[in-house]
Structure 1
Amino acid sequence: MLPSHCPRLLSPLRHLLACLALLMPPAALAQPDILLAEIYRQGIDPRDYLVSEKYDGVRAIWNGHDLVFRSGQAVPAPDWFIRALPPVPLDGELWAGRQRFEWLSGVVRKLDPVDAEWRELRYMIFELPGAPGDFRERAARIRNIVAASGNPALVAVEQRPGTDHASLKAQMDRIVAAGGEGLMLHLADAPYVTGRSDVLLKLKPWLDAEARVIEVLPGRGRHAQRMGSLLMEMPDGKRFRLGTGFTDAQREHPPAPGSLLTYRYQALTAAGLPRFPAFLRLRELP
């Protein structure tokens, strides 16, 4: 059904085309060039880094005019949410609280945003794209920008000086026990850079990665007549089976081939395959 508010043009064909355009999702902008995290490992001195909680949210980049996902697709946020953002580029996570990612992902993908849902979200800012100075200076500027904005949805991610490995692990354990994901470490004296780099590190009790569904494999025994596992393909072309971490409902209605999933694992084998992989979530965002 065409929208009732579409323009009434003289030409029926032009009228139809205009109405169809209203049904289309917003066009993607250029994919933003952003900083991506490497994995924390032994041999790295945490005292060189500022440490924050790793928020299980949806990455969103504000260029001063548009709010976009990592893909460059526009975030369909309410007008009042966009108007309240400051006129400087920001990088952060749309977040709804610990262990609420599935609800959050549904909220931010709705082309017709629901105000009451968006008022529960926070935009957790951890970087200023393209800004001068080292990260310690940029973190201080983030705090000033957020304070001056008066916007309750805007939050400066708390950055604390790193100490030693034992303290770092204890901090991670406390956050995970409270329902969080882990920690992020950002090199304190680093200028703004993009791409995957040791400038930014993530520390979690489990590693995670993304892979694409190749085939849905049938189950046996208790899982007869529904999905048993998924044949997955990693970005480098390696394939493995993913069969744990799914609910009964997900086995009844498994992700379709071509879907992108996030899975967690303990380590990589000598062959470069994930050890003890388990399903984490379906990556349905644009």
Structure 2
Amino acid sequence: MQRRSLLSLFSLFFLWRPHAQAATPPSIWLANSYQAHTDLRNFWVSEKFDGVRGYWNGQQLLTRGGTVLHPPAWFTQGWPNTPFEGELWAGRGQFTTAVSVIQQTQAVDADWQKLRFMVFDLPKHTGTFTERISAYETLVATLGLMWVEAVPQTQVASAAMLKQLLHDKVSAGAEGLMLHRANATYKSGRSNDQLKVKTYDDAEARVVGHMRGTGQFAGQTGALLVETRQGQRFKLGTGLRSEDRQTPPAIGEWVTYRYRGLTDKGLPRFASFLRIQPDIEKRP
């Protein structure tokens, strides 16, 4: 993944404060991880975009954590009062660009022109995912805006075909793939009706402490103490770069880490810091 100077990016995280928070974060549908036994004939497949999830509630554009974003007026002009969601995406390998843009409290037109809103679902539509595909494609076509695109969906017949598609997409710079069960209705929370497919496992944890570094890391952060959503705590040091150690994620920030399976105690094996997750509400 191409990145700007992480030091300047982290400065944006600490200096940025949203003007307002939504009363409650949107109730969104979240994915579990793909398992090899999944019957792929029942699923639609799309690219997993490496951006920031956005939720249009009919009046405001929010992150999944409920932070109100401040795009230029033209970006959402003509959007319906019906909720829809997608990914605020600057292109493959441009995650940090998307983050820096959505953090603006005073929108800069030239920066927001770098983003596309990749629409992938309609939360209030009562139909199956197959029906919602047609509905969101119609919505996007009706809007007729260059920066609002419908996420293409396809189907594969076997695990071998899925593996090849994953290889092709990742080789081209994609983050991975998403699977949606064809007959699934929209629901809040995690579900096996929506699956993410990557070349590695990842998860999110909240920073609850900073461990002092020793040796070559003396005077810096040696590791982050993080807590999973299940309340399990562990140290996360591998993957931190020198900028991360000098200016670590603040306590309460959520971070994404990679890992390779779980120990018998349910802790991630070979956990490695990946990045700050900006679209989850910070908690002290």
TM-based fold match above 0.5:
yes
User: 2:206 matched to which residue of 1?
Assistant: 212
Instruction: Indicate if the aligned counterparts of 1:135 and 1:187 stay in contact, CA closer than 8 A.
Output: yes
> Is it true that 1:266 corresponds to 2:260 in the alignment?
yes
Instruction: Indicate if the aligned counterparts of 1:242 and 1:279 stay in contact, CA closer than 8 A.
Output: yes
Q: Structure 2 matches for 1:178-193, cutoff 5 A? A: 178-193=172-187
5+ residue gaps, structure 2 = 1-16
Following TM superposition, by how much is the alpha carbon of 1:263 offset from its aligned partner in structure 2, in angstroms?
A: 0.8
- Out of 220-229 and 57-66, give the one that drifted further: 220-229
Q: Which has the higher contact order (CA 8 A, sep 6+)?
A: 2
**1:129-188 CA-partner distances (Å, limit 9, x unpaired):** 121322112112211221221101111001001320011011111111222111100001
Structure 1 residues 35, 284: CA separation in 2 closer, same or farther (over 3 Å shift)? Answer: closer
User: 1:19 matched to which residue of 2?
Assistant: none
State the number of aligned residues: 264
Q: Partner letter of residue 64 of structure 2? A: R
Query: How far apart in 2 are the matches of 1:24 and 1:60?
Result: 15
Query: How far apart in 2 are the matches of 1:258 and 1:278?
Result: 19
Query: How far apart in 2 are the matches of 1:166 and 1:128?
Result: 30
Structure 1 residues 72, 217: CA separation in 2 closer, same or farther (over 3 Å shift)? Answer: closer
User: 1:151 matched to which residue of 2?
Assistant: 145
5+ residue gaps, structure 1 = 1-22
Query: How far apart in 1 are the matches of 2:113 and 2:274?
Result: 26
Following TM superposition, by how much is the alpha carbon of 1:24 offset from its aligned partner in structure 2, in angstroms?
A: 7.6
Q: Secondary structure at the match of 1:202?
A: strand
User: 1:275 matched to which residue of 2?
Assistant: 269
User: 1:30 matched to which residue of 2?
Assistant: 24
> Is it true that 1:95 corresponds to 2:113 in the alignment?
no
Q: Structure 2 matches for 1:42-57, cutoff 5 A? A: 42-57=36-51
What is the aligned-residue identity percentage? 44
Following TM superposition, by how much is the alpha carbon of 1:84 offset from its aligned partner in structure 2, in angstroms?
A: 3.7
Q: Secondary structure at the match of 1:232?
A: strand
Query: How far apart in 2 are the matches of 1:160 and 1:182?
Result: 14
User: 2:220 matched to which residue of 1?
Assistant: 226
User: 2:56 matched to which residue of 1?
Assistant: 62
User: 1:107 matched to which residue of 2?
Assistant: 101
Q: Partner letter of residue 127 of structure 1? A: D
Structure 1 residues 27, 219: CA separation in 2 closer, same or farther (over 3 Å shift)? Answer: closer
Instruction: Indicate if the aligned counterparts of 1:48 and 1:162 stay in contact, CA closer than 8 A.
Output: no
Structure 1 residues 253, 116: CA separation in 2 closer, same or farther (over 3 Å shift)? Answer: same
Query: How far apart in 1 are the matches of 2:194 and 2:132?
Result: 14
**TM-score of the pair, normalised by structure 1:** 0.87
Structure 1 residues 79, 240: CA separation in 2 closer, same or farther (over 3 Å shift)? Answer: same
**TM-score of the pair, normalised by structure 2:** 0.87
Query: How far apart in 2 are the matches of 1:214 and 1:231?
Result: 6
Query: How far apart in 2 are the matches of 1:254 and 1:192?
Result: 37
> Is it true that 1:255 corresponds to 2:249 in the alignment?
yes
User: 2:233 matched to which residue of 1?
Assistant: 239
The CA RMSD measured in Å over matched residues stands at: 1.7
> Is it true that 1:196 corresponds to 2:190 in the alignment?
yes
